[in-house]
């Protein structure tokens, strides 16, 4: 398969998986990389909402894998970039997708849309999505905030990914509150790396405009001047092989 498959994971909900998926995908597309976002949070889909694309969705992942709709037909072009597409997750999932079916869906999508990247948003728990995505991913981004429960979940997530497949894991610290870390109120970057034992690829600052953005479907990565927008752009460039200095501001 030509496209690199990136899985976005944490077995805890609410840490920012969907936010990271949408913003990283747009950042990669802005680098000119042909990128597809796939919502694999079956039953709880919300990537379409975060991207503001709900009205444009006709088909979902299950239509592609179980009902013969081609990924090219199911993919919605994101109006923000000519290099960005989106395939929704199903509202309800009654089973029936196996690892081989999912792999073949990714391969067909990669070929039909000539993709460079496929970013797969996953579910927070031990859902089937996790075991479909992990063996097919080239790289798994483990998302953690610096809240205790999220750090523990990141450690567990990285362990499960390595049990399920050969994906490399990288840590994204999301919603980072630099002031709280400096005052010692919340664990800092080094403690997070030590505790999760995952190599760091980026830090996304806490950005209180995110909540509002989820309502309007606007993405921080659209705005190259915001701190979180810049952080997503930096992670995208690192994923794409550039050497970009880490910023903690
Ligand atoms: N960097 C951030 N700063 C502030 N809020 C954030 C940030 N990233 C995500 N959020 C907010 O956290 C909530 C959960 O994010 P979401 O991406 O839906 O998490 P998950 O997909 O892991 O359940 C959302 O309300 C989102 O707007
Ligand atoms: Mg989510």
- Name the residue of 9, 12, 14 whose CB sits within 8 Å of the most ligand 1 atoms, as the mutation to test its pocket: 14
Q: Is the CB of 211 under 6 A from ligand 1?
A: yes
> For residue 118, is it within any domain?
yes
pLDDT tens digits, 192-212: 999 999 999 999 999 999 888
Report the number of distinct structural domains present in the chain: 1
Compute the distance from residue 41 Cα to the ligand 1 centre, in Å.
Answer: 15
pLDDT of residue 138: 96
Q: Is the CB of 7 under 6 A from ligand 1?
A: no
Q: Whose CA is nearest to atom 14 of ligand 1?
A: 14
Give the CB-side neighbour count of residue 107, counting CA atoms within 13 A.
Answer: 8
What is the average pLDDT score of the chain?
Answer: 93
pLDDT tens digits, 74-120: 999 999 999 999 999 999 898 999 999 999 999 999 999 999 999 99
Q: Is the CB of 188 under 6 A from ligand 1?
A: no
Q: Which residues of the chain have pLDDT under 70?
A: 248-249
d(CA 184, CA 247): 19
CATH value at residue 112: 3.40.50.300
Ligand 1 atom closest to the Cα of residue 10 is: 22
d(CA 215, CA 210): 9
> For residue 247, is it within any domain?
no
Which structural domain range is residue 48 located in? 4-239
């Amino acid at each position: 398969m030509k496209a690199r498959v990136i899985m976005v994971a944490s077995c805890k909900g609410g840490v920012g998986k969907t936010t990271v998926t949408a913003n990283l995908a747009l950042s990669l597309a802005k680098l000119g990389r042909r990128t597809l976002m796939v919502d694999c949070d079956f039953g709880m889909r919300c990537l379409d909402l975060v991207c503001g694309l709900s009205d444009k969705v006709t088909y979902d992942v299950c239509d592609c894998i179980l009902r013969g709709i081609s990924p090219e037909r199911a993919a919605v072009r994101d109006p923000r970039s000519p290099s960005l597409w989106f395939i929704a997750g199903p509202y309800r999932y009654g089973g029936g997708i196996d690892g081989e079916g999912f792999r073949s869906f990714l391969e067909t999508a990669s070929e039909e849309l000539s993709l460079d990247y496929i970013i797969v948003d996953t579910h927070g728990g031990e859902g089937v999505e996790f075991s479909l995505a992990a063996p097919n991913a080239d790289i798994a981004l483990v998302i953690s905030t610096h809240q205790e429960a999220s750090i523990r979940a990141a450690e567990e997530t990285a362990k499960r990914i390595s049990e399920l497949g050969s994906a490399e894991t990288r840590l994204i610290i999301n919603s980072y509150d630099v002031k709280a870390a400096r005052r010692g109120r919340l664990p800092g970057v080094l403690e997070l790396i030590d505790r999760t034992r995952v190599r760091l690829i980026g830090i996304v600052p806490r950005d209180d405009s995110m909540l509002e953005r989820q309502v309007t479907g606007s993405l921080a990565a659209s705005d190259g001047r915001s701190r979180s927008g810049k952080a997503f752009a930096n992670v995208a460039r690192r994923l794409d092989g550039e050497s970009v200095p880490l910023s903690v501001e």
